[in-house]
Amino acid sequence: MQIKKFEKEYDVKSYECDKNGGLRLLTLMNIFQDIADSHASALGIGIEHCLAHGLAWIGSNYIINIERLPQWHEKIRIVTWPAVEKKIGAVRDFLVFDEKGLVIIRASSQCVLINYEKRRPVSLRDNLPEYHIIDERALFTDFPKIEDFEAVDFQRCFAIRFDDIDINNHVNNSVYPLWASEAVPAPFRLSHRPETLEVAFKKEGLFGEDVNVLTRLDGLTSLHSIQAQSDGRELAKVKIVWKEI
């Protein structure tokens, strides 16, 4: 199937904004998921196809570069397309335009197709209708490994709530960057906003668990390891480059 880029317009609402009037990071991630789901469904490779065939798309990586965050009452336009196809995974890119047509956010995500029951990756070509990628990138990245760290500057615990769980029965991808961004000291968080965000999803987090967010803060860069409190399994790694507000 030959495809075109997919786009939607969004009006930024007051309840989607933080104390500074900027779009919440959680909401931005959810918007990306929403438009990706809509486009995948239009291509016949979305949640409807997956549910009917015992499959699921599982996020493995995200990289987001934020020139500025959309503001309350602002109308933004999101454009997305499948940019790279691999044997068991796919890369989808995103651009966010402001009302003047300027790009204010660039993002790239990587997902893996799995057999839902076995929790094992499966081949895209053997399990999806044929479609073609658009050979263009919003961000030129191969999703480099987020570095490990030993020295921990801060640690914070979060409980996994019912509202954190999505239809795949695990913590939604948008929640991990939220936990990471909340794990730095309050004075730092109040005076900074994310400029670049990298996320590597590792394991499923489940309702009722508690997680520890271990944080290393070095200047304007924070590294986060999000771990299940019960058994220490690493659920995600997050790297944030901050910008002073």
Kindly write down the DSSP assignment for every residue of 56-84, as one continuous string.
EEEEEEEEEEES---BTT-EEEEEEEEEE
Strand partners, 172: none
pLDDT at position 221 is 98
Which pair of tokens denotes residue 39?
Answer: 């486009």
Q: What are phi and psi of 123, to 5 degrees?
A: -70, 135
- In the three-class reduction of DSSP (H, G, I as helix; E, B as strand; rest coil), residue 99 is classed as coil
Residue 132's pLDDT is 84
Q: What pLDDT is stored for residue 11 in this prediction?
A: 97
Residue-level pLDDT at 1: 57
Domains and CATH numbers, the chain: 6-127 (3.10.129.10), 154-244 (3.10.129.10)
Indicate the pairing of strand 210-218 with strand 89-97.
unpaired
Output phi, psi for 58, to 5 deg.
-120, 125
Number of Cβ within a 10 Å radius of residue 148: 9
Per-residue b or e along 204-242, where b marks 16 or more CB atoms closer than 10 Å to that residue's CB: bbeeebebbbbbbbeeeebbbbbbbeeeeeebbbbbbbb
Please choose, from the candidates 213, 245, 207, the residue with its C-alpha nearest in 3D space to the C-alpha of residue 229. Answer: 213
223-237 pLDDT tens trace: 999 999 999 999 999
The pTM of the full predicted model, rounded to 2 decimals, is: 0.93
Q: Which residue has the tokens 């995103």?
A: 94
* Regions of the chain with pLDDT less than 70: 1-2
Structure confidence at residue 95 (pLDDT): 98
